[in-house]
Structure 1
Amino acid sequence: MGNTKKTAKAKKQEAEKRRKYSKYKSWFWSLFAIGLSLTVLLFLLAGWGVFGTMPTFEELENPETNLATEIFSSDGETLGKYYNENRTPIKFEDLPPHLVEALIATEDERYFEHSGIDARGTVRAAVFLGKRGGASTITQQLAKLLFTENASRNPFARVIQKAKEWVIATRLERQYTKEEIITMYLNKYDFLYQAVGVRSAAKIYFDKEPKDLNVEEAAVLVAMLKNPILYNPVKERFKENALERRNVVISQMEVNGYITEEEEDSLQQLPLKVTFTPQGHDEGVATYFRVYLQGFMKDWIEKNPKPDGSEYNIYRDGLKIYTSIDSRMQEYAEEAVKDHIAHLQKEFDRQNKSNKTAPFRDVTAEERNDIIQDAMRRSERWRVLKAQGKSNEEIVKSFGEKTDMRIFTWDGIKDTIMTPRDSIIHYKSHLQAGMMSMTPQTGEVKAWVGGVNFKHFKYDHVKQAKRQVGSTFKPFVYATAIDQLHLSPCDTLPQSLHTIEAGKHGNQNDWTPRNSDGEYAGMISLKAALAQSVNTVTARLIDRIGPKPVIDLLEKLEIDAENIPEVPSIALGTADLSVFEMVSAYSAFANEGVYVKPVIVNRIEDKNGTILYQHMPETKDVLSKEAAYVTVNLLEGVTQYGSGRRLRGTWATGAEHYKRAVTGYPYDFDNPIAGKTGTTQNQSDGWFMGMVPNLVTGVWVGAEDRSVHFPTLTYGQGATMALPIWGMYMKKVYADKELEVSKGEFPKPENLSIETNCENYGKNQVEEGDSLPDELDF
């Protein structure tokens, strides 16, 4: 009886348990169904765009990205970029296999097995709350980069965003191949320091193309994908993190069978090495050229709209600009400018120590103060403070208050404390330079150096600046006279004083130029006269032909002659011209009288490689072949026995101070070189124009203010200020045999009727061992 009661009770309890289990089971499946329905609804709503705009099919096909416009040199190197984001896309086949393997091993081990969502990873992340790795696949990470905003701290918002990422990830997987998704992800990721995308990152952190990265370098970049700040190999405080994370990536590569244990051990022992190469707009090569190119592109864009009528954007359309610049020649030019000016600056500073109005000369204390005050008013600091409503008195006072600042010096960037006023004086004390090199036959500009340091001195001294050209103007007078009068380099003229009277050739007053050496006796050949910059001979020539034909020649050479007065005194170089104008004009002499308009862009392509622009040469005859050749022959005399003879190793100055000032002296050139030095009044500007048959190069050296100059001609002449840059540059150019710069003779016209082989024209030749000549043009 008792057993029966017990059994009935047990049965009742079991029935109750079954009822409760059934209830719980029903609740569980109900909740599961509701959860599943809500999850499905969540994804449906996300897919329908209820939680925010979702990408359309067209957007998935062409995801919106900011692609940098890339600037290429003529030898295929990247000179720089224009960008909002420094991103230059790369194809999958250009990615090294170990970079892809490191990415998959570390970020998404089952990448090739899932369709955008890794179920196992998601469950693992949910169970262990992310402690054993996250659940985001590479595709989800790409979806987040392309189409979703940064995660909110709000838990619900984060769930919504994750749902959107999943939907987009599955759509991406249907739209693209696995290889394309990896490529898009690596092209999109921001590695910091303006390194957007793996190609920029490889260049900035290792100065390499991605295909050249080794395993440990690839591992460093993959390590940064977790957090580009926390694992950045450049930031000193995070270098240890970067090393540890790199080794985790290498370990994951071994776990996944991409490398052996021995390789893992060996790679993890390697130190963390980077070759940090910033690609900001202020850094890199050809900085001044790239700024000028921006202006060229702006003009081109205004005249060449897209097929739909909209404008191209150099900061996001991924254009490819193929320029005429040769990266090797550009590097040699920049090195020559830097080496010489850094050396010359030390001597300039030494001579200014006893100068009471330093860095200015030939000015009163009051004039010095006016120059500085004017610079203050034109400064960015003045503009900002004025915009803040500060009075002039308050702004001037602020310029006298000491503050922490970083300044440019030739010994490196220096942290110091000084007043903004003193910083203006500091920067005005620096010598500047402009240099351009061009192939005369094609017009291609091969090197462009607009200054000594673009970050600190923005003003371009190739195209933007115009300075007095001094004796470098004289060949235009000689060329015009030869063309009109059929003169020979062997013809002689008296050195005596020559006066062009008032009223003649537009002269308002009598004009009697003097020779710098005070020599006026005897006759001198035209070749010797140009070599030694004999002013009286140049005056006689322009008196015979008149200034107008000279200006006509300038205009044919596309020199802006609007502000050049039609008076005889222009013969001695009173005109302000740019290095750009001078080089392109001189190129016509080397190119047998044919002017070729300078070329800086050969071709422009869009991001797909479609050619948008192809350069067509523009040429015109400006001189006869005979006149051009004779002018070149005259200019060869300058380097044979004139102010340019120090380019030859047979001439010794005997001036130790000069040897100290000129790096790389002597140059020992023994090939034909045509050239002309120029020195303007008070040594404010030093020039050298140098030519070989297939390369014309012009150099200017001076300071921002014309009152900043050397006190004497020892250092203040073109032969000391500018010529050494040409010499150092050409030494490197000739050493690089791949450039094929000519050492041969200038082409001689057939049936030349003008005598150029003069036996006795060297009567006034400066003998070997003489001291430096005092070249003066006024």
Structure 2
Amino acid sequence: MAATKAQIAQEKADKKKNISLFWKIYAVGIGLVVLMFLLAAWEVFGDLPDHTALENPQTELATEIVTVDGKTLGSFYNDNRKPVKFDDLPQNLIDALVSTEDERFWDHSGIDGYGTARAAAFLGSKGGASTITQQLAKLYFTEQASSNKLERLIQKLREWIITSRLEKQYTKEEIITQYLNEFDFLKQAIGIRSASNIYFGKEPDSLTVSESAVLVAMLKNPRQFNPHREISKEKSFNRRNQVFFQMVRNGKMTEEVKDSLTALPIVLDYNPEGHNDGMGTYFREHLRDWLKTWAKDNINPETDKPFNLYNDGLKINVTIDHRMQKMAEEAVYAHMERLQTEFDHQQTRNKTAPFTDLTDNQIEIRLQSAMKRSERWREMKKKGIAEKDIIKSFNEKTDMTIFDWKAKGRERDTVMTPMDSIRYYKKFLHTGLMSLEPQTGHVKAWVGGINHKHFKYDNVEQGTHQAGSTFKPFLYSTAIDLLHYSPCKTLSDGEYTIPAGKHGNTKDWTPKDSNGDYGNMMTLKEALAKSKNTISARLMDEVGPQAVLDRAAQLGINTDGMDVVPSLALGTADVNLYEMVGAYGVYANGGIYNKPVLVTSIEDKNGTILYQYMPESKDVMNPETAYVTVNLMEGVTRIGSGAKLRGSWATKNSFYKEVITDYPYDFKNDIAGKTGTTQNNSDGWFMGMVPNLVTGVWVGGDGKSIHFKSTKYGQGATMALPIWGSYMKRLYADETIDVSKAPFKKPEDLSIETDCDEYEKTQNSSPLGGSEDDDSREFDM
């Protein structure tokens, strides 16, 4: 039936009303959206960053430790962020990022309209709409996304406002740079530079296109697509290949290149940067203590507070050479693992292992003392737990991760009581190595122990140990200085007694030689080479212990508390490796003492110099005395215990081939040095030097009751010298490292004769020589 005019009119009116209602609803909707934006902008829904915050976003920047050869040794941080500039980013990384995360990045103004419409139309099934700028806004200024839909909407509005402000304040290049600097790639890798360092062992500008794609792939979810997690490796591989696909789609890669790259596996060079990870852990901890003191005394002008070591982005330029540090650690670990294996083997016959010459009661006292010094004891004490309950807990089995040379990663999980773990850790032999350039005092390598995570004690600077025969050069140089003795002067090695009442002796003192061979005439050079205690006693009687102590103090040794007694001649005093290396540096540097240097300069995050090291040098010894003492010590590596450094000898001894790494050393150049072994073989030392490098090594147990039973194994020539030899062999193999093979520089006005043939003519004496096969080289007390 045809509609009446009234019906038609009504329909028109309804239609007009509906259209009007639609536009009203639309206007209200638009108005609500605008109002929501205005309310968000007016900070009704929460604070937004102001203009200053946008221009100067407050991020925590790690303090970076940079070696003399430009490598990052480590960082101090709350967040391990080391920012880079846009120019430091490779083009392949930028192409991969934009192609994958935000194809229209260079064209939009922060909000991608096309992407937003697509996300709305397909409910996100064909990708989200979040631009790189929006992702940066999230990283900088907004909280974790809420599960509440209204709150999520408000967060999105705030994010859009912040995004638009970011686009106004920054260039596109700055936005990319800030985003990559802020993103957390996990594994302490905050920012692209840390990620590049940790996952690939290189700076960002050296990343290959494949490596860049791996890191861009992680931006979607750094845990789910992490190439280092075993469970995530396949996902990381597939996501990386998806990045290649996106680069082809955006014209940044050809199909041929993509096809060749997708077949390649992901190859990592993983270098963790936790405080217990990576190289130079003991050095970094020593440095941290020094920097804390420095920071307290220096004000950051931006905050008007002392500099913060963990978030002010400082750059610490140190003297350590990254290559030399790596070689030092390799030499230490290779030798110590083998030496520990031999020690463990010998302990199977020891009923009180790892202790020697102690009663059960004495052992228990030591274990109880170690228990009360442990971190576990301190933490339980802080909580107010009764002492009897703490002791009880030490005898209850628990899960723990322990150090083990043979385990993967040198750690293994086990179940044992904390008390058993204390005894377990007592068995390990420890070491310290320090390498120094004597002409500058710059410390080139520092290895304080075998594993910083499980053994915190630093045997370079914290630990003091009996010096043994490494103290003897101080005595010999005193005799050269005061008595003008030549290395060729001959003395009898017969038993020698310094009577009670002389030089502070309370009773007669008659030192013995370990090989019991007396009655020979020998030169001072031979006497030092073979570490003859009897001749050391004669020299000490002639110069007196106070003069020797004064000489040690001049060389930088802390002599406070050392007894002024003749036994100083045998190295009964405790010294640390740090001071000993500095002291030996005087001999190599013609009598000039350079205080060991660790930090050359400190810069703030903008590159402004905050600290510049001023060298501390002083003349402490006649150049002639220094050179003659070096000449004496050269005898150690030719006819004494240090002759193991010469290949002709090394190949003859099967034991050393098995236990000592990198035999034969086969050094031909001039090397001066001194081995040292203390009573009961508790400490083994080797101090060795060439003209521009002095390196000291100490090896020993955790206490004097933990040691090899025989001098064959426990002497410095077996425990410490091989680390020096292995380290130097590595250095010489790298032609980019300047380690001298030249002779030591002879003073022009030398008045003391060091050529024994010439000396014999003038003195009409006949010094006795020792052959390289002389078994007495095995013993060095």
Structures share fold, TM-score greater than 0.5: yes
- Structure 2 equivalent of residue 48 of structure 1: 42
Correspondence 1:397 to 2:401: no
Alpha-carbon separation, structure 2, partners of 1:659 and 1:220: 44
1:324 maps to 2:319 = yes
The offset of 1:650, in angstroms, is 2.6
Are 2:32 and 1:27 aligned?
no
Are the counterparts in 2 of residues 68 and 86 from structure 1 also a CA contact under 8 Å? yes
Aligned to 1:348: 343
Structure 1 stretches of 4+ with a deviation exceeding 6 A read: none
Which residue matches 1:292?
Answer: 286
Paired position in structure 1 for 2:537: 539
Q: Given residue 197 of structure 2, which amino acid in structure 1 is its aligned partner?
A: K
Report the counterpart of residue 274 of structure 1 in structure 2: 268
1:755 aligned onto 2:728: no
Distance 1:480 1:768 in 2: 28
Residue 608 and residue 16 in structure 1: after superposition, are their counterparts in 2 closer, same or farther (change >3 A)? same
Q: What secondary structure is seen at the aligned counterpart in 1 of 2:227?
A: coil
SS of the aligned residue for 1:650 comes to helix
1:125-169 deviations in whole A, cap 9, x for unaligned?
222221221121110110110011111112121111111111111
Any conservation in 2 of the 1:528–1:762 contact (CA below 8 Å)? no
C-alpha distance in structure 1 between counterparts of 2:8 and 2:190, whole Å: 66
Question: Which residue identity is paired with 2:773?
Answer: G
- Superposed, which structure 2 residues align to 1:180-329 within 5 Å? 180-307=174-301, 309-329=304-324
Give the partner amino acid of 1:101: D
Task: Tell me the distance in 2 between the aligned counterparts of 1:248 and 1:756.
Answer: 73
Determine if contact 1:435/1:700 at 8 Å carries over to the other structure.
yes
- Tell me, what secondary structure is at the counterpart of 1:426? helix
**Conservation of the 8 A alpha-carbon contact between 2:112 and 2:129:** yes
Is the contact between residue 72 and residue 323 of structure 1 (CA under 8 Å) also seen in structure 2? yes
Partner of 2:743: 745
Amino acid paired to 1:372? L
Secondary structure of the structure 2 residue equivalent to 1:727: helix
The 5-angstrom pairing of residues 49-448 of structure 1 reads: 49-307=43-301, 309-412=304-407, 413-448=411-446
Q: How many Å apart are 1:587 and its aligned residue?
A: 0.2
Classify 1:59/1:370 alpha carbon distance in 2 versus 1 (closer, same or farther; 3 Å): same
Deviation for aligned residue 1:273: 3.4
- Contact preservation (8 Å) 2:697, 2:720: yes
SS at match of 2:237: helix
Secondary structure, aligned partner of 1:55: coil
Which digits, 9 at most, give the CA deviation of each residue in 1:17-72, with x for residues without a partner? Answer: 33222222222222222222222222222222222221111111110111111111
Contact (CA 8 Å) 2:490, 2:767: kept in 1 or not? no
> How far does residue 569 in structure 1 lie from its aligned partner after superposition?
1.3
Distance in 2, matches of 1:111 and 1:522, equals 87
Map of 1:571 onto structure 2: 569
Contact (CA 8 Å) 1:186, 1:198: kept in 2 or not? yes
Point out the more displaced range, 230-239 or 710-719.
230-239
| Structure 2 residue 775 is matched with structure 1 residue 771 | yes
1:652 Cα deviation (Å)?
Answer: 5.2
User: Which amino acid is the alignment partner of residue 327 of structure 1?
Assistant: H
Q: Please state how far the C-alpha of 1:171 moved relative to its aligned partner.
A: 0.6
Report which stretch shifted further, 369-378 or 462-471.
369-378
With over 3 angstroms needed to count, the CA separation of the structure-2 counterparts of 1:477 and 1:768, relative to structure 1, is: closer
Whole-angstrom distance in 2 between the partners of 1:112 and 1:329? 45
Kindly indicate whether the alpha-carbon contact (under 8 Å) linking 1:247 and 1:268 is maintained by their aligned counterparts in 2. yes
Candidates 628, 631, 634, aligned match of 2:632:
634
1:673 matched residue in structure 2: 671
**Distance across 1 between alignment mates of 2:621 and 2:18:** 103
Query: Bigger CA drift: 250-259 or 354-363?
Result: 250-259
* Mapped contact 2:188–2:274 kept (Cα < 8 A): yes
What's the CA shift string for 1:247-279, capped at 9, x where partnerless? Answer: 222222222222223333333333343333211
Deviation string 1:628-684 (CA, Å, 9 cap, x unpaired) is 111111111111111111111232585422332212222111111110000001000
Aligned partner letter, 1:408: F
8 Å CA contact 1:528–1:642 kept in 2: the answer is yes
Q: What's the CA shift for 1:387?
A: 3.4
TM-score, normalised to structure 2's length? 0.96
Given that residues 681 and 776 in structure 1 are in contact (C-alpha distance below 8 angstroms), is that contact kept between their aligned partners in structure 2? no
Deviations 1:673-704 (A, max 9, x none): 11000000100000000011111000000012
Structure-2 change in CA distance of 1:397 and 1:219 (3 Å): same
- TM-superposition CA deviations, 1:266-323 (whole Å, max 9, x none): 3333334333321111111111111111112112222322236421112111111111
- Give the conservation status (yes or no) of the 8 Å contact 1:472–1:687: yes
2: CA distance between counterparts of 1:550 and 1:488? Answer: 18
Question: 1-side partners of 2:241 and 2:684: how far apart?
Answer: 56
Query: What code does the residue aligned with 2:9 have?
Result: A
State the one-letter code of the partner of 1:696.
V
Tell me the CA shift for residue 616 of structure 1.
Answer: 1.6
SS of equivalent to 1:773? helix
- Secondary structure, counterpart of 2:461 in structure 1: coil
Counterpart residue type for residue 669 of structure 1: F
Q: Distance in 1 between matches of 2:377 and 2:592?
A: 48
Residue by residue over 1:711-754, the C-alpha shift from the partner in whole angstroms, topping out at 9 and shown as x without a partner, is 01010000111011111111111111221211111111111111
1:462 is displaced (CA, Å) by 0.5
Residue matched to 1:509: 507
Query: How big is each residue's C-alpha offset from its partner over 1:333-361, in whole Å with a ceiling of 9 and x where there is no partner?
Result: 11111111111111101110010110010
Please give the residue correspondences for 1:455-466 in structure 2 after superposition, counting only pairs within 5 Å. Answer: 455-466=453-464
The structural deviation recorded for 1:764 is: 4.7
Unaligned runs of 5+ in 1: none
> In terms of mean alpha carbon deviation, does 419-428 or 438-447 score higher?
419-428
C-alpha contact 1:69 1:316 (8 A) present in aligned 2: yes
Alignment-mate amino acid for residue 772 of structure 2? E
- Indicate yes or no: 2:487 matched with 1:494: no
Find the aligned partners of 1:164 and 1:767 in 2 and give their Cα distance. Answer: 85
Please list, as runs of the form range in 1=range in 2, the aligned pairs for 1:717-736 lying within 5 A after superposition: 717-736=715-734
Counterpart secondary structure, 1:162: helix
Secondary structure at the counterpart of residue 405 of structure 2: coil
**Which residue, 589, 594, 602 being the options, matches 1:596?**
594
Deviation at 1:246, TM superposition (A): 2.0
- SS of 1:504 mapped into structure 2: coil
- Unaligned stretches of 5+ in structure 2? none
Aligned-partner residue type, residue 748 of structure 1: K
Q: Which amino acid counterpart does residue 265 of structure 2 have in structure 1?
A: P
Instruction: Work out the CA distance in 2 between the residues paired with 1:658 and 1:207.
Output: 35
Check the 8 A contact 2:73/2:280 in 1, yes or no. Answer: yes
Pairwise CA RMSD: 1.8
Contact 2:226 2:233 (C-alpha < 8 Å) held by counterparts: yes
Aligned equivalents of 2:421, 2:484: Cα separation in 1: 55
Q: Would you say the 8 A contact 1:654–1:770 is kept in 2?
A: no
Q: In structure 1, what is the Cα distance between the partners aligned to 2:216 and 2:683? A: 53
CA distance in 1, matches of 2:145, 2:516: 81
Q: Give the secondary-structure state (helix, strand or coil) at the position aligned to 2:352.
A: coil
